[in-house]
A and B are shown apart, each in its own frame.
Chain A
């Protein structure tokens, strides 16, 4: 079974969610040794290697990789950390840098030829990040606002008429404690999943109608599929960047909210 073209007889069949299932790399390999797992590790090592080449021996006057690395660092610091963490930004930069660049590279794997799998399209990986942020957020909230103060600040924002709290408090609790971590992980997962599906669909249309079953009638559709594949690849790169940015931004926002009651 090739992941790109799913043929059932003579009819074109759009790729389904099964394109995200990868068998073990070779016959007799352990079940966990699959393509996404391999590239998750490769991605982590690549991020470390990039960061090492940029920041291992930083110079006052930057050269080469350090320039690029500093641009990345300043992006995370100025666009993510400072708006939400203010003076605490520097302290949380290590976490945010790791998050942003690991997610970004894993996402970009979705458009790299031959790799072509956004790691976060397997929900386990976004869950790891979201759980870490969730745990950190509750720990920091209780540490900085007290166990009662944290939940009180969360559920009972001051300055509202009393009956409102009957409605508001459960919603706030639900939204902060259950929905937020869930959407945090699922937003990243779903974007990568859907984006990859789209790319797979358009590329399989192009492949099927131009190579597998080339007919005068179908060739136009094939060309459209190929053109859309190219356009969607560009769009996907944007979405992959955006989702890495958004995930890190939300992490910074959650941490900032735990450090200081923002209501």
Chain B
């Protein structure tokens, strides 16, 4: 053996590389106790708890994901509803505009018709007035003409029948040239 071993032997010390039997026994016993208590009893407990925790966290994440998905769905729904409402509003606005335009057109149509009617009525009135005036004038002119003629030719035209015929002829001549009347 080496010098150190010889020295150890001289000091009466054990070689540190040779195990003491009683220490082997104590070491085995200590290891066994620790293995039974820490390894067999306690480690499985913490393993179980850690597994449960993982599960709980995963469950929580799942729940959060579900809630998020639900929220997303609701949001989509609201958006769809909003879009629908907007579309509806746009449609109503369009409809109202169309209706307004239609009403305006109708009113214009009506007003134009009314105007036309008024114009026509006025025309008719005027025509009637003209006719009336013309009829009045007819008599007046006849009388005045007779009077004038009698003044000119004297009493010869006193005879009623002749007078009438003359006047009629005169009037027919007048009617034969309508442009002169107008």
Contacts and interface: CB of A to CB of B under 8 A. Distances in A.
Interface of A: 16-18, 20-21, 31-32, 36-37, 40-41, 43-45, 47-48, 51-52, 54-56, 58-60, 66, 69-70, 73, 90, 93-95, 97-98, 101-102, 121-125, 127-129, 132, 193
A44 B8 CA distance: 30
Interface in B1-31: 4, 7-8, 11, 13-14, 16-20, 22-31
B54 to A, nearest CB: 10
Contacts of B53: 60
A158 B8 CA distance: 48
Given A44-B33, A129-B31, A193-B16, A31 B22 contact: yes
Given A44-B34, A98-B39, A127-B27, 4 more contacts: A18-B11, A59-B49, A102-B34, A123-B17
Given A41-B30, A55-B45, A122 B23 contact: yes
B3 to A, nearest CB: 12
8 contacts: A17-B4, A32-B26, A48-B38, A60-B49, A73-B50, A94-B39, A94-B40, A128-B31
A48 B34 contact: yes
Nearest to B56: A60
Contact of B42 (A20, A51, A127): A51
A54 B43 CA distance: 10
B7 to A, nearest CB: 7
Contact of A94 (B7, B24, B31, B38): B38
Nearest to A91: B47
Interface string B34-70: 1101111011111111101100100000000000000
Contacts of A123: 16-19
Contacts of B30: 40-41, 43-44, 102
Contact of A128 (B27, B42, B44): B27
Contacts of A66: 46
